[in-house]
Each structure stands twice: as C-alpha cells, then as structure tokens.
Structure 1
C-alpha cells in the first residue's frame, strides 16, 4: 500500500483548494479523514509552517509558506520526514508554475486543476523510490524537524475548531436567577395616597375654573399671538415639572402634564380676567 495517499494545494488565508491529486481511495475512514483535512485547511493561518494531525489509521501533514500550503494524507507507517519532504517538493513545483498574482486572484476551487498531473508524478516518486535513494534529502528535513518540531494535533481537534469557527459553541445551561418583587413599604403607600389626593384637588380646581371662564376661550384664541403664548407656556411648565420631579414612568409623566396644564390654565385665566376688567367686558 502507498504511504502518501492524497495531496492538495490550498491558499492559506481562506483555505481555498487550488489543486489536488486524483482520489483513488473510497473507504469510510479515508473519506472521514478527507473531511477533516478540509476543516483543517480553513484554519491554517492560525498554525506555524509545519504541522501534523494524527488519527487512528491516517495522518494529515501540512506545510505552509507565505500564502500557499500543501497538505497530504499519509498512512501511519509513513515517516514524518518523508511526508514533509514530499510537501516541500510539491510546494516548490507549484510556486514555480504559478505566480503570487494568479494565486491571489483565484476565486473558484481547484482553479489550477492541471497541476494534478505534477502532484501525481511527485507522489508516485515518493511512494515507489526507496528511502535509501532519498536518504540525503530526508536527512536535511529530519534536521529541520529536530530543530523546529511541527505542531502536533489530533483529528478530533479539527472538529472542535470547526465548531468554534462556525459559531456552534458549547452551550452551558445555568438556572436563571430568581427575581422576586418586594412588597410596597408604608412610605410608598403614603406617597401614592398623597399623589391621588393632589390629583383630585387639582382636577376639581380645574373644573371650577373652567366653569367660570368658559367665555374666555373666544378671547384667548382670537389672536394667534396669544395662542402661541399659551402653547409655549404649557410646554415650558410641562418640561419644568418633568425635570424637577425626575419622572420614572408614563403615569407620572401624564399626571404632571395634567397638573401643568391646569396650573397654566389658571394663570392665563387670571390674566384674562384682569384684562376683561380693565376693558370693562
């Protein structure tokens, strides 16, 4: 059985597959490993240049430099130095065939599908040439790996990373805090009673004034200037009451608007009565 089973070239910044070898394996374990490889390709920018994801039957190796990464699925018996030597060879072949502009402008998967033949040739070479013939190149890679070991993952880590990346975070269910309303204090009850009494007294006073001053409406709104004066006075008194009392709910706002209206109406009625007496009306 071949040691290098599958290889692909991806763009690091977004995991876009640029080219891949022809897939001759269709076992369930291999297809599952292919799925995890695609997941890992989306997160290559978060890892250093070299890394491996170890599974039960297959390992995934990746090697990235600048904006191009090469990935491979190898059997467990494949030496790590051999896998990274293969990835480095594929990387050099790909970057020599395509410039960075073409790679950056690629917008669809497998835009460089014709590179498949080169990947197949390199894969055949590493699978069928004896390790003795590649001894010199493997020694160089082995020294680099000893000096800077690749990051080691597990295939299960790729699934966890994919879940976090797509927003499917683990949900921790916790009991919601139990909020209970506190009973009204005696001071609150007294304040409510006093507010109701004040509202009733103001309402009675307003009705009384309205009965005795109904005739003033025609005089009040006869002139546009007087009408604007009434509107501005009402607005000023309403805003002043709302600011001074620090209103907290709609009912308090409506209550103070009514109080302001009655107060302003009383002031204006008194002024009109004085003007009527001066004019002898």
Structure 2
C-alpha cells in the first residue's frame, strides 16, 4: 500500500509550484488535502524550515531550504522520520538539477515539468523500501528532528493560513450579504416607464427637426453666398468687356481721322503741282 501519495516542489517566496508528481487519486479526502496543501504552500515563508500538518487519515509534511520547499501528502500512519527522509532526498535531487537563477526566473506554474519523473521515481522507491534499508539517513534525520522538531499544524486550521500571510494578521472575515428578491412592477411603475419612453421619443424627434433646420440654414447661407459671388463676377466681367469695347472704338475713330487727314493732304499737294507746270503747245 502506498504511504506517500503526492509530492511537489514549490518556490518559497510565493508558493509557485515548480514540479509535482502525477496524481492518480480522486477521492474527496485527498482532493481536500491537496487544496489545503496549496493554501499552505503560499505562506511557507512564515514558518520554520520543517513542519507537519496532521489530519485524521492524511498528513502534509514540508521541508524548505533556500528558495525551494518540498511538500508531500502521506498517510497519517506513515513515519514522520521517513517522510522527512523522502523530502531531503527530493530536495537534494532538485538542487543538483537547477540553480538559484533559473528558480527565481520561473514565471509559470510547473516550469520544471521534466523533474516530475524524478519525483515519481523517488516516491516509488520510498514506498517500496523499508526503513531498515535507509538506516544511515534515518539516524541523521532522527537526530535533526530531536534537535529541531518540526512545527505542528492542524490540517483543519489550514483554511485560515492564507489570512496570516500579511504580518501574522488573521484573515478578513467575509460575511454574505442579504439576498434581495425583485418585486413585480406596479401599475404606477409601468405608467412611469411609458411616460419616460414617450418623453425620450419626443426629444429624439425635436433633435431630428433641429438638425434638419440647421442643415437648411446652412444650405441657404451657402447658396446666398454663391449667388452673391456670381453677381460680383458677372458685374466685373461686364465692366471689363465695356472697357475693352470702348477702347477698340476709340482706336477705330483715331485711325479713321488719320486716314481722312492723309487723303486731304494728298489732294492738296497734287493740285499745287499741276498748277506750276507750263501749258503744252500743240
């Protein structure tokens, strides 16, 4: 029978899960214990490096060191020393595989998914191997636990642990507000709704008429201005034509008078020449 049911590696400062074993357990007690483990993982920075949350059938053990913490869900009958031997082995494997920089830069859950196979392998090994075969590690962990025993938590109290994250203050108690039931609309309310709709429709019609009137005024001003411009252009054109025709008429009159004067002078000169010539004898 399996004694270690689940194991995971999380980041201490924010509880971000970095890797976890494959979960094949779906009973309600295990799922509830998983939910409490998740709540506990987000506040591990406020607890010592070792801790145990005991339940009736399942227990949670955690071991934190540096930036990471290893957590496990085990049977309540499972030896606490064996559980921490398992967590130390898991912590050593993870520290040997990843450095502090990569752990600090992880931004998404289960960023080190490939480590799941290592967790599964170590978990299966501790579920099969009896305590007598890991005697050296057993004695070391047992001595450490005697010198610095893990903090004891109650699994039933983990619901309030998230409220202790802010400087040790308890969580805010949230009360459920009263439920208000909607009442049917009264005849007065229906009349008020109809009147509001009618007023809204009238305002809309007035707005349309105002827009239409404004548009007509704009067109009138536009066409009036265009008509005035046309009148001015026509007047200037007529004046220009009059000036041009008057100038042509003056030029024609000047040319006519010059021609008449020239013809008169020619006739006078011819007469004078003929008078000076002697009479021809026959």
CA contact (8 A) 2:46 2:165 kept: no
1:48 maps to 2:48: yes
Show structure 1 runs of 4+ deviating over 3 A. 163-168
Shift of 1:77: 1.4
Instruction: State the superposition RMSD in angstroms.
Output: 1.6
Shift of 1:71: 0.2
From the CA coordinates, give the structure whose radius of gyration is larger. Answer: 2
Q: Which residue of 2 aligns with 1:71?
A: 71
**Partner SS state of residue 145, structure 1:** helix
Q: Which residue of 2 aligns with 1:128?
A: 128
Shift of 1:51: 0.3
Query: C-alpha separation between the residues in 2 aligned to 1:30 and 1:171?
Result: 27
Q: Which residue of 1 aligns with 2:81?
A: 81
1:22 maps to 2:22: yes
Query: C-alpha separation between the residues in 2 aligned to 1:152 and 1:10?
Result: 20
Shift of 1:163: 4.2
Residues 122-145 of structure 1, C-alpha deviation per residue, up to 9 Å, x if partnerless? 001100011111122111101110
1:169 maps to 2:135: no
Residues 199-256 of structure 1, C-alpha deviation per residue, up to 9 Å, x if partnerless? xxxxxxxxxxxxxxxxxxxxxxxxxxxxxxxxxxxxxxxxxxxxxxxxxxxxxxxxxx
Q: Which runs of 5+ in 1 are unaligned?
A: 173-281
Q: Which residue of 1 aligns with 2:37?
A: 37
Shift of 1:162: 2.2
Query: C-alpha separation between the residues in 2 aligned to 1:47 and 1:149?
Result: 13
Shift of 1:161: 1.7
> Per the alignment, do residues 23 and 171 of structure 1 end up closer, same or farther by CA in structure 2, a change over 3 Å counting?
closer
Q: Which residue of 2 aligns with 1:107?
A: 107
**Partner SS state of residue 153, structure 2:** strand
Shift of 1:165: 4.8
Shift of 1:158: 1.4
Query: C-alpha separation between the residues in 2 aligned to 1:156 and 1:169?
Result: 18
Shift of 1:170: 3.0
Residues 252-272 of structure 1, C-alpha deviation per residue, up to 9 Å, x if partnerless? xxxxxxxxxxxxxxxxxxxxx
Shift of 1:156: 2.1
Query: C-alpha separation between the residues in 1 aligned to 2:142 and 2:76?
Result: 17
Shift of 1:160: 1.0
TM-score by length of 1: 0.59
Residues 18-71 of structure 1, C-alpha deviation per residue, up to 9 Å, x if partnerless? 000000111000000000000000000000100000111100000000111000
**Partner SS state of residue 133, structure 1:** helix
